[in-house]
Every structure is written in C-alpha cells, then in structure tokens.
C-alpha cells in the first residue's frame, strides 16, 4: 500500500465512529437510556407532550440558575454526611448503606400517623427518615454501615433493624425483611469480592460511572433493577439505586476523590415515583384514561407490570429530552440528568409539604425505588 492509499481498517473504524457504532472497551454503557427509549417508542399508556417538555426545560433551567443549583446542594442538607467530619471511607460506607436501603417509603396514612423518625429534635419522613435513622443508629453505637455487622446473623437481625428504624408513630418502616435481605446479600458480596469495603468496589470501576453501575448490577442481585417489557427478549434496565449511589458519591465528593467519574453524564434520572408525579403535573407525561384513573384512585400498580415500566421508562426519556433541550438552548451550561432529577425531586417534596400536590404519585411497593 502506498502512502497515498487509505488504510481500509482505519476507514472502517472512522465509519463506525461517525455512525455512532464504535464503543471502546474501556468506555462502558449502562443500557438504561437505550431501554427507556425502546419502552417510550412502544408505550401505549404513557406519552410525552413535546411542547410541555420544551416549556419545562425553560422553567427548570431558569429556576436552577436562580437557585444556583449545583452538586454542592447535596451536602448542604443537615442529614447528609459531612465527609470532613466523618472521614472519607466512612462517608462512602454511609452512602453505600443509604442507597442499599433507599426504597419504598410511601404510606397511605396521614402525615401525622405515617412512619417517621425523630432525630435531634426533628421529625423526618420518606427518604429522610432513612437517613435520619442511619445517623441515629451511628450516634447510638450501632455499626449499621459496617458490612461485618450485616453478616453477623446474631447481631443483625430483624429485631435489630426494627430498633434501628424505630418509628415515632405506630407505623413500621415498610419492607423491613427485604431490607435485611439486602444488607445480608451485600455483606456477603463485599466479603467475597471486595475485602468487605465498598471503597474497593468503587476503585474496581476505574473512574467510570457506568462501570460502577454495571458492577453493582452484576454482583448484587438487590441492585439488578431490570425487567422484561412486553415479551422483549432483552431486559429493560432501570438500575435506579445503582445509579443514585453513583450520583450521591459524585455529589457528596463534588466530582473529586471517590466521586470522580469521567463519564458521570451517562447516568440518567432515577426512575422512582416522585419524578413521574411532577412530570405529569407539569404536563410532560400524559397517561391513558385507565392508568390515570388507577393513579388517582391510589390503586397499587404491580412492580414489573407494563404500566409501571412505562411510567419509569418514559420518565427517564422525558428527563433526557429536557436535558437535551437545555443543552441546545444554553450550550455554555453544563446540566446533567442527575441535577435535573435532584431538582425535580426536591421541588415535588416542597409541593407536597405545602399541600400543592395536584395528582398523587403512583403506588408500587418494591425494593427497586
């Protein structure tokens, strides 16, 4: 081959790159966005209103700019761990435990009667009840964030968890037995593969957010949030808690140290029940009459069913379109799906506290969110 002739192998690689088909071995993908788009394309009970999505993007950008919404906002909450005070490895252990158990806090009881945790003179519900309970347990000398404790079947029992997550009301924390099973499994996996330390798990991902998500899904069945949609052979991946664990590390460490990920923007929104709720109230998500009736009637929607998968997947795709719209309108601004999710979740909780909810969230009881 002369110097003037093109190398056919290089040409083939260039074509693949231009066509978006070239994926480097050290650049993993989670597959979450791909699955969400597939469900959206085939959904029959959830749709997106593009005009509302565009309007939402403008409103979200304006409010995030006004509030100066940044990753540092995560650490600003009084319950989230202060890594300077706690220590970096202990902070990683806290976040790992927190997101291992970060699921299913909704209640049909009134605000006064629902499961709640009292900590340092305040009463906490929902997700914050979990964080408060973990903080309280550590204050009381219970090693709730230690994987050795999770493996100790005499110390880490269902009764022990009832004490850790004791409520100041008559309602118990939901799915306590399932939470114990998550702790037990995670303790065993960390022992077998990561020298009992989640820091080693993070280091095994080699600075890749997608890589860490994939490791969590591969090694821990309790993080393997993937489901079959309408008979599709390839499962649709949501990986809500695996992704939020990566996002919490990134936010807590402000993109440095244990929170430094070169591909953090591959993380999607975290498909739960609060973000679909606010996207629906903003007119972005539209439901079929049977689904809307079920949600408004607060009927429980089965985990893994078609309705639930459409709600979650279309929310992921909706936030992705909002992110793209913001990037298009403000090319100099870097806002990823994580920050949009955090912002929407916080906004929905503020609306709930102010009694401004216009539509209830869907009811699904599971360990996935």
228-253 pLDDT, tens per residue? 999 899 999 999 999 999 999 999 99
Average of per-residue pLDDT across 94-113: 97
Residue 142 resides in a domain:
no
If one counts the domains in the chain, the total is 1
Residue 365 resides in a domain:
no
What is the tens place of the pLDDT at every residue in 281-300?
A: 999 999 999 999 999 999 99
Residue 146 is among the residues annotated as catalytic for this protein: no
The pLDDT value given to residue 186: 98
Residue 13 resides in a domain:
no
Check 82, 272, 341, 346 and give the catalytic one. 272
Long-range contacts of the stretch 211-219 (C-beta < 8 A, 24+): 211/28, 212/242, 212/245, 212/246, 212/261, 213/30, 213/32, 213/239, 213/242, 213/243, 213/246, 213/267, 214/28, 214/30, 216/242, 216/245, 217/242, 219/189, 219/193
- Between 11 and 354, residue with greater pLDDT: 354
Helices and strands, number each (H, E), in the chain: 17, 6
Residue 3 resides in a domain:
no
The pLDDT value given to residue 26: 63
Residue 268 resides in a domain:
yes
What is the tens place of the pLDDT at every residue in 134-153?
A: 999 999 999 999 999 999 99
Do 88 and 259 form a contact (C-beta atoms < 8 A)? no
The proportion of the chain whose per-residue pLDDT surpasses 70, expressed as a percent, equals 93
The pLDDT value given to residue 349: 86
Q: How confident is the model at residue 55 (pLDDT cuts 50, 70, 90)?
A: very high
The pLDDT value given to residue 10: 52
Residue 10 resides in a domain:
no
Domain that residue 52 falls in: 28-73+205-354
Inform me whether the pLDDT recorded for 12 exceeds 50: yes
Average of per-residue pLDDT across 76-104: 96
Degrees, nearest 5: CA angle 111-116-119: 130
Residue 221 resides in a domain:
yes
Note the pTM of the prediction, 2 decimals: 0.90
Distance CA 252, CA 188 (A): 26
Inform me whether the pLDDT recorded for 196 exceeds 90: yes
Residue 316 resides in a domain:
yes
What is the tens place of the pLDDT at every residue in 311-358?
A: 999 999 999 999 999 999 999 899 999 999 999 998 998 888 888 888
Q: How confident is the model at residue 18 (pLDDT cuts 50, 70, 90)?
A: low
């Amino acid at each position: 081959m002369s110097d003037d002739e093109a190398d056919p192998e290089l040409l083939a690689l260039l074509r693949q790159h231009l066509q978006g088909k070239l994926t480097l071995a050290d650049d993993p993908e989670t597959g979450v966005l791909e699955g969400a788009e597939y469900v959206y394309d085939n959904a029959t009970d959830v749709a997106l209103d593009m005009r509302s999505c565009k309007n939402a993007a403008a409103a979200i950008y304006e409010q995030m700019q006004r509030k100066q919404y940044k990753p540092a906002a995560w650490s600003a909450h009084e319950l989230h761990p202060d890594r300077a005070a706690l220590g970096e490895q202990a902070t990683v252990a806290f976040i790992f435990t927190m997101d291992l158990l970060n699921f299913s806090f909704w209640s049909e009881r009134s605000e006064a009667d629902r499961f709640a945790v009292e900590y340092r003179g305040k009463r906490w519900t929902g997700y914050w009840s979990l964080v408060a309970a973990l903080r309280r347990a550590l204050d009381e000398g219970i090693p709730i964030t230690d994987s050795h404790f999770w493996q100790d079947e005499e110390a880490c029992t269902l009764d022990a968890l009832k004490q850790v997550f004791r409520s100041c009301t008559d309602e118990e924390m939901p799915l306590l037995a399932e939470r114990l099973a998550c702790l037990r499994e995670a303790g065993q996996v960390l022992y077998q593969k990561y020298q009992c330390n989640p820091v080693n798990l993070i280091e095994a991902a080699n600075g890749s957010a997608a890589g860490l998500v994939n490791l969590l899904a591969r090694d821990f069945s309790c993080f393997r949030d993937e489901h079959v949609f309408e008979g599709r052979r390839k499962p649709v991946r949501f990986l809500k808690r695996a992704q939020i664990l990566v996002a919490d590390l990134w936010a807590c460490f402000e993109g440095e140290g244990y929170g430094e990920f070169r591909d953090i923007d591959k993380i999607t929104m975290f498909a739960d029940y609060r973000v679909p709720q606010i996207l629906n109230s903003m007119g972005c998500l539209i439901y079929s009459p049977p689904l809307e009736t079920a949600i408004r009637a607060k009927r429980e929607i089965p985990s893994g069913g078609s309705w639930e998968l459409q709600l979650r997947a279309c929310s992921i795709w909706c936030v992705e379109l909002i992110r793209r719209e913001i990037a298009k309108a403000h090319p100099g601004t870097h806002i990823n799906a994580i920050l949009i999710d955090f912002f929407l979740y916080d906004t929905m909780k503020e609306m709930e506290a102010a009694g401004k909810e216009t539509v209830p969230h869907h009811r699904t009881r599971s360990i996935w969110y």
